[in-house]
Amino acid sequence: MSILHTIRSPQDLSKLSAEQLGRLAEEIREFLITHVSATGGHLGPNLGVVELTLAVHRVFDSPRDSIVFDTGHQSYVHKLVTGRQDFSTLRQQGGLAGYPDRSESVHDILESSHASSSLAWADGISRARALQGEGDRYVVPIIGDGALTGGMAWEALNNIAADKDRRVVIVVNDNGRSYAPTVGGIANQLSKLRRGVLDKVRTHPVYESVMDGTKRRLINGGPLSQMTYRSLHAMKKGAKDFWAPQGLFEDLGMKYIGPVDGHDQSALEEALEDARSYEGPVIVHAITEKGRGYAPARADEADQFHAVGVIDPETGDPVSRGSSRSWTSVFEEEIAAIADEREDIVALTGAMLIPVGLRTLAAKHPERVLDVGIAEQHAVASAAGLAYGGLHPVVAVYATFLNRAFDQVLMDVALHKAGVTFVLDRAGVTGPDGPSHHGVWDLSLLQLVPGLRIAAPRDSARLREELREAVAVEDAPTVVRFSKGNVNDELDALRRLDDGVDVLHTSSKPDPDGSWTNDVMIVSVGAMGELSLDVARRLEDQGITATVVDPRWVLPVPESVVALAARHRIVVCIEDGVKAGGVGARIRQEMREAGVDTALNEVGLPVEFLAHGTRSQIFERVGLTSAQIAQDTVAQVLGTKVPFARRLPGEDLPTGEIPVFRSR
């Protein structure tokens, strides 16, 4: 029996010898390579934190001591040692989540996969412990060096450092990377730190007692004593900075231990024990290797297998490469082409240059691509400044990450009518990464921003087209959003209306004035084109005529959409964002303001955090399928389900029972 199979809780680790711990680390890496290669997931980060996770769990007592993982993609080893060793359905519907998940274990705390928030959680948890008389319980946030580029981390450090009695041990997992190599001044400072010979002495309680006593006596003495204290303090700081330059943290008043080899089990445990014995806020700086122990990951210069699909565990090669292009690759190609034509185009991203499709542009025009680290708020405000300076910034981020910079979109960009284009990758349901990665909030949040315009392309041709239209706007923010995964097949329009709305399908011939009348008008938002056309076909099978339009630009609502709504009995808006405050809700408002009383049914996602699963599985769970939408629409046309379709003069209602549609 392997050692790993005997581990059911963190307490089981305390029984192991040094030799057994070494074997366990090897087994864990073999387990991760075997299982993650079969399901896909975050492989490189977890291979790098094996010894670190074991050390934390051996020194601290989870769940009494709170272990908080920042971002959480490096929590697989934590899952293994807390009794979760069935990885056969990792990140699949009903299986283990790819991040910490409270429903899985009492050892999990922070579920969000947004970076840089762990230290704020640690601040709050430690304050709560102190206020409730449980100040002897430790809080251990594990934060990557990449997450330290986020402003939230430093705001929290400012507060943690101010209270010398709180038992917070901050473990900096420094592998020089977030997704890709960490950038900026923080990264430069971390790279300069080296192990100091004074660390163990400086964290010992006796040392602190002697230093505090000496300091008080000298300061409370006469002018000569005070001068002596200042001289000795300056000499002490100079000596410390020579042997172990640590001003980055100690200037905040925090104790610093490290750097320590993050793959030396004994050294890690010694450093953590020293930090624990200090009984106050401490930084433990561990140097780790992303992808440790797996040659294909270490050889991957792009991201060292940060996240992989299904791969061959021997070679690291994808099992299936697929022939379809991704939405991201289409954007990557087009933004590079636009930048070739326009010297004012600059791109910004937050530590996600490769995932959001800026690698080609960075290779061709490196001076015009700015990676600001995990700092979305800064990226957006900086973009406003770039626009003021005469450039056209393109801020490329995951849709769910723009949530963090909403205030900057509103008050820095929109208020100043700055020509900034936001490109939102992974919009809508993203699948296996779960609740904090689904990009389902942007259509509702951004509706609130005055002057902002939102494009939702349905295929690659429209993505190229709408991106060019977006960067041509210089007096307002624009947004282009698209899904994760393979780009949809081309859906050519039957015709384009004067205001840019594409008509994808109509059951009737145009009237003499060039317009037309049908029972149902389906408004298809972005990637929902194929689904919308399938709904129309199902309705026609039941004798219900339908029109399918793609607004292309969903905000502001095109006038032709409102005008067409008046010529239909019911409007059905299909979108892959939350229904509350979404595109359908905005169209309803515009219709009412124009005096159009046609019924409208918003079809989208519920306002809830959606568990992980494939896009199709999640759509099935929430009823966002062509069969369900068609069935509901037939009932609305027949007048048996609200909202009721209104009757057109002289037109008979379809008769008969409501059919039950099944998936095709």
Annotated binding residues, as ranges? 73, 113-115, 145-147, 175, 294, 376
What are φ and ψ of residue 505, in 5° steps? -165, 145
Q: In the beta sheet, which residues pair with residue 347?
A: 369, 394
All residues at 6 or more sequence positions from 331 whose CB lies less than 8 Å from its CB, including other chains: 356, 357, 396, 423, 425, 463, 467, 480, 482
What DSSP string describes 394-460?
A: EEEEEGGGGGGGHHHIIIIIITTT---EEEEESBB---TT-TTT-B-SHHHHGGGSTT-EEE--SSH
What per-residue string of b and e applies to 157-171 under the rule 16 or more CB within 10 Å gives b? bebbbeeeebbbbbb
Contact 284, 169 (CB under 8 A): yes
Strands (E), 268-321: 282-287
Residue type, 171: V
Tokens of 623: 């009823």
Tokens of 633: 């629409």
Bridge-based pairing of strands 66-69 and 139-144 is parallel
- DSSP helix/strand/coil, 66: strand
Binding residues for thiamine diphosphate are 73, 113-115, 146-147, 175, 294, 376
Contact 84, 32 (CB under 8 A): no
**Residue positions annotated with a catalytic role:** 290, 376, 404
Q: In the beta sheet, which residues pair with residue 144?
A: 173
Residues 440, 444, 448, 454, Cα dihedral to 10°: 70
Tokens of 581: 């405050």
Measured CA to CA, the distance from residue 559 to residue 565 in angstroms comes to 10
What are φ and ψ of residue 598, in 5° steps? -60, 140
Binding residues for Mg(2+) are 145, 175
Q: In the beta sheet, which residues pair with residue 505?
A: 548
Measured CA to CA, the distance from residue 12 to residue 61 in angstroms comes to 11
Measured CA to CA, the distance from residue 166 to residue 202 in angstroms comes to 18
Closest among 56, 57, 33 to 44, alpha carbons compared = 33
Give the other-Cβ count within 10 Å of 608's Cβ. Answer: 10
CA geometry: angle at 486 spanning 483 and 489, to 5°? 100
Measured CA to CA, the distance from residue 601 to residue 588 in angstroms comes to 9
Handedness of CA 117, 121, 122, 124 (dihedral sign): positive
